[in-house]
Amino acid sequence: MFKNKLTTLLFFAGQLLLTAQNKHISLSEFPDDKIMVVAHRGDWREAPENSVWAIKKAIEKGVDMAEIDLAMTKDSILILMHDNTIDRTTTGKGKPSDFTLEEIKKLNLRDGLGVETQMKVPTLEEILILSNGKILLNLDKGFDYIKQVYPMVKKRNMLDQILFKGHESYAEFNRKYGDIKKDIHYMPIIKLGNKEDLKNISEYLKNYKVYGFEFTIGITEDNLIDFKKLKENKVKIWVNSLWPHHNAGNNDDKVLDNSNVYDWYLQKGVNIIQTDRPKELINFLKMKKLYKS
């Protein structure tokens, strides 16, 4: 009798702990006074981009969110793939839609240098199972697949763990996803200097509670807007530190020369940074006491 009661108590304690962990890994409860670290295509310097191990390595480093890219196979299975073809990142050639999942799984992924590995192209379902309660996910190149992803995520109670993005206007977003828009977290991508994109900011703010905006700034600050003022609308500001045209030249590689390049993001009011150097960014944020954990 005692053993059965102890087993039951341990089970419920485990469930409560899991619930608490999952609650902590959520978009809606991410602290406003911390900077979210997003690993570009997973931690691709440690493993092939958009691979299971790229996500595992991001989790190991304590990254808040992994950005991944979606494509669909010939038999309508969502997989992780950035390019329009599989040529660069796998041992195969052609479009993802040319292959069934079984055929895709016979191929091997290539690493960042183009060298063949023993790793396979993962399905979105595999990544959801791996990530649940451990890391947030941004599904890039996935605007057209939101309706297919939605039930997969809802079934796993992961809606607060998944961020969808897209370049589309509010009218197009509402036309395609108006029936589920209140259930999901969505972030429009805005290219500064583009009049239509700037119009999109006001349209989204007027009609929908966006999670935030992702901004492409350009090679200079000529088109920069006041992010701090925009944040008064209770939205987050995402800027990529990947390449110079994303961030007015304040890109990741500068940190290797002991530059204080990430200070620029703090000064501008950015609170989500997608990076190719998560270790360096996390170390910087720890020093500034702006890292979540």
Task: Report the chain's mean pLDDT, rounded to a whole number.
Answer: 93
SS3 90: strand
User: Rounded to an integer, what distance in angstroms lies between the CA atom of residue 236 and that of residue 149?
Assistant: 23
What pLDDT score does 259 carry?
A: 87
**pLDDT category of residue 5 using cuts at 50, 70 and 90:** low
Res. 165: pLDDT tops 80? yes
Q: Please tell me whether residue 39 adopts helix, strand or coil conformation.
A: strand
Question: Per residue in 37-68, pLDDT tens?
Answer: 999 999 999 999 999 999 999 999 999 999 99
Q: Is the dihedral of CA 265, 268, 269, 270 positive or negative?
A: negative
- Mean pLDDT over 128-135 rounds to 98
**What is the pLDDT confidence band of residue 22, given thresholds at 50, 70 and 90?**
very low
For 98-117, how does the pLDDT look when each residue is reduced to its tens digit (9 = 90+)? 999 999 999 999 999 999 99
Q: What is the pLDDT of residues 213-264, one digit of tens each?
A: 999 999 999 999 999 999 999 999 999 999 999 999 999 999 999 889 999 9
Q: Which two tokens stand for residue 107?
A: 């191929």
Residue 24: pLDDT above 90? no
Lookup: tokens for 44: 């691709």
User: Which of 79, 108, 75, 70 lies closest to 92 in space, CA to CA?
Assistant: 108
Of the candidates 91, 87, 96, 127, the one whose C-alpha atom is nearest the C-alpha of residue 106 is 91
Percentage of the residues of the chain whose pLDDT score is greater than 90? 90
Phi, psi angles (nearest 5°) of residue 177: -130, 20
Q: Output the CA angle 125-131-132, nearest 5 degrees.
A: 90
Say if residues 291 and 34 touch (Cβ distance below 8 Å): yes
Q: Could you give the 3-state DSSP secondary structure of residue 217?
A: coil
Q: Is the pLDDT of residue 11 over 90?
A: no
Q: Give the predicted TM-score (pTM) of the model.
A: 0.91
Lowest mean pLDDT among 17-26, 90-99, 131-140: 17-26
Structural domains in the chain plus CATH codes: 2-83+121-288 (3.20.20.190)
**In whole angstroms, what is the distance from residue 281 CA to residue 44 CA?**
15
pLDDT of residue 147: 97
Q: Residue 116 forms beta bridges with which residues?
A: 110
- The answer for 238, left when phi > 0, alpha when psi is -120 to 50, beta otherwise, is beta
Determine the Cα–Cα distance for residues 242 and 247; give it in Å rounded to an integer.
Answer: 8
**Bridge-partner residues for 139, per DSSP?**
68, 164
**Residue 241: predicted pLDDT:** 98
Q: Can you read off the two tokens belonging to residue 86?
A: 């599989």
SS3 assignment, position 65: strand
The pLDDT confidence band at residue 29, using thresholds 50, 70 and 90, is very high
Q: How far apart are CA 139 and CA 41, in angstroms?
A: 10
Residue 102 CB-half CA count within 13 A: 1
CA distances from 30 to 65, 144, 161, 245, 266 (A): 11, 27, 10, 28, 17
Report the SS3 class of residue 115.
coil
Specify whether the CB–CB gap between 160 and 28 falls below 8 A: yes
Phi/psi region, residue 178 (left: phi>0; alpha: psi -120 to 50; beta: rest), is alpha
